[in-house]
Amino acid sequence: IQELLRVMRTIDDRIVHELNTTIPTASFVGKIDAGQTCKELYQSLMDAHTSRERIIKNCIAQTSSVMKTLREEREKAQDDIALLKQLRKEQTKV
């Protein structure tokens, strides 16, 4: 998931470059529709943010489900150190 999120952040990490290439210089003002280009950039940013948010929320939901199961198992076997370590690992992930 971390690798996927890193790839999805590319547009955010390159925002200065994207803005510099989106806003036309004086010599290209008549050739490029800056308003439309900015709208497209904005939409791509919003799409990236929405996708990233969906993936993060899905990860949290899955990890929370695993934590719930581990807690239930932990109540039954309180002496199980491996189970405790796994539970802590999942808690850290969240």
**31-48 b/e (C-beta count within 10 Å ≥ 16 → b):** eeeeeeeeeebeeeeeee
What is the pLDDT tens value at each position of the chain, 94 positions in all?
778 778 778 877 888 887 777 776 666 666 667 778 788 888 988 998 898 899 889 989 999 999 999 999 988 888 888 998 999 998 888 8
pTM, two decimals, is: 0.65
Instruction: Assign 67 to helix, strand or coil.
Output: helix
